[in-house]
């Protein structure tokens, strides 16, 4: 009988945390949407964007999709995997926030914002690159006149003009995340302007929009992150942009002007359209809101395994149980799996999570009947 109970708990655990396929987040003006990598299951992620504003004008995500960095209403915000705002609007320069790139660990935000300059002539709007923790604290200026950025691990990329005419736009790795100078190029080609850098999961390649000089759209191409040299051109253009890597590094999704979202093998091959409309796809492993997975029923005194799903990497977790009208802490540590014994009754559990960058949030609750 005891063995049957243990098996029953194990089966409940197995079905409580179903595996989720990779998905693509994208801008479906004026909101954000989610779709499976084959184009099925299209669904809204946010509903607070409006045609007359505010709108979602930029999208980035951690590899798991548990944290999103977005530009919404010309300000930087952080969302969870369910599209709920967990931080923002964050401090800004006073101008529009054009780009909001969240770091892979979810702890930092790189933003490109317009700054009004008045020195030496009439007022003009200049884009600046800023870096801050994901809760907006520790904000610092990184670079002036920057139009593109991305993350190579914990290092920032930015655009940089070539030294020789026609001064094509390259993508470089910053020598320091706190200052303007470049250490080396990670994507560069004479006569081409390169935009929308996206680094492969293993850090060896950079996918970019390869545009004619003076253009901002064109083809999707790969460059060596070590040398900056062209590796291969993946798409035919002429209006392709916004590449994003699949989590396994085998495919790249991109937008094609008004022609929707497309997917192409990273090793080369035919591109396939998966969606008729959409902009700026971002490929994530699973995504979704923070939640606790575990059995719905358990025996009093038996060990119960609880799993926190979609927690940001490096987060500090406080597992709590509702008792006597209050939340009482059962455990606090950097972990996503817990094993505990519960007393008889109805157990209502939640997790308080503090992620790198200072953002705090609470998981969905888990109800367990303990007999």
Stronger pLDDT, 137 or 286, i.e. the higher one: 137
Per-residue pLDDT band at 287 (split at 50, 70, 90): low
Closest CA relative to residue 196, chosen from 168, 163, 220: 220
Q: Tell me the per-residue pLDDT of 188-244, one tens digit each, with 9 for 90 and over.
A: 999 999 999 999 999 999 999 999 999 999 999 999 999 999 999 999 999 999 999
Query: Is the per-residue pLDDT at 3 higher than 70?
Result: no
Confidence (pLDDT) at 5: 35
Confidence (pLDDT) at 21: 67
Query: Is the per-residue pLDDT at 14 higher than 80?
Result: no
Query: 177: Cβ–Cβ under 8 A, 6 or more apart, which residues?
Result: 131, 142, 154, 155, 156
Closest CA relative to residue 70, chosen from 282, 343, 273, 266: 282
Share of the chain above pLDDT 90, in %: 80
Q: Tell me the per-residue pLDDT of 216-231, one tens digit each, with 9 for 90 and over.
A: 999 999 999 999 999 9
Sign of the CA dihedral running 58, 32, 280, 50: negative
Query: Could you give the dihedral angle defined by the CA atoms of residues 29, 31, 36 and 42, in that order, rounded to the nearest 10 degrees?
Result: -80
Length of the chain: 371
Per-residue pLDDT band at 288 (split at 50, 70, 90): low
Main-chain dihedrals φ then ψ at residue 146, nearest 5 degrees: -120, 130
- Domains of the chain in start order, with CATH, are 2-15+289-370 (2.60.40.10), 22-284 (2.120.10.30)
Confidence (pLDDT) at 252: 98
């Amino acid at each position: 009988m005891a063995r049957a109970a243990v098996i029953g708990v194990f089966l409940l655990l197995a079905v409580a945390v179903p595996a989720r396929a990779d998905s693509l987040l994208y801008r479906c003006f004026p909101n954000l949407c989610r779709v499976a990598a084959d184009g099925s299951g299209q669904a809204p992620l946010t509903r607070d964007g409006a045609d007359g504003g505010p709108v979602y004008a930029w999208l980035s995500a951690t590899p798991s999709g548990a944290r999103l960095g977005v530009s919404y209403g010309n300000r930087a915000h952080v969302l969870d995997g369910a599209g709920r705002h967990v931080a923002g609007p964050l401090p800004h320069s006073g101008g529009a926030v054009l780009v909001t790139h969240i770091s892979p660990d979810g702890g930092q935000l790189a933003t490109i914002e317009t700054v009004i300059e008045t020195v030496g002539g009439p007022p003009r709007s200049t884009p600046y690159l800023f870096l801050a923790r994901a809760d907006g604290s520790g904000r610092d200026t990184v670079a002036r006149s920057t139009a593109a950025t991305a993350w190579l691990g914990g290092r920032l990329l930015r655009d940089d003009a070539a030294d020789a005419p026609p001064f094509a736009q390259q993508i470089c790795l910053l020598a320091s995340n706190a200052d303007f100078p470049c250490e080396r190029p990670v994507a560069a080609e004479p006569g081409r302007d390169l935009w929308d850098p996206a680094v492969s999961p293993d850090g060896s390649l950079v996918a970019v929009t390869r545009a004619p000089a003076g253009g901002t759209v064109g083809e999707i191409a790969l460059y060596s992150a070590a040398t900056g040299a062209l590796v291969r051109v993946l798409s035919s253009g002429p209006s392709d942009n916004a590449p994003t890597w699949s989590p396994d590094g085998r495919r790249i999704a991109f937008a094609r002007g008004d022609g929707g979202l497309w997917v192409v093998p990273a090793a080369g091959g035919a591109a396939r359209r998966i969606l008729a409309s959409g902009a700026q796809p971002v490929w994530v492993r699973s995504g979704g809101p923070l939640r606790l997975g575990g059995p719905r029923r358990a025996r009093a005194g038996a060990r119960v395994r609880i799993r926190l799903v979609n927690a940001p990497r490096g987060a500090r977790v406080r597992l709590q149980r509702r008792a006597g009208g209050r939340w009482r802490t059962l455990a606090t540590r950097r972990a996503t799996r817990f094993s505990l014994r519960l007393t008889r009754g109805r157990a209502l559990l939640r997790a308080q999570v503090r992620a790198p960058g200072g953002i705090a949030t609470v998981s969905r609750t888990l109800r367990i009947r303990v007999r």
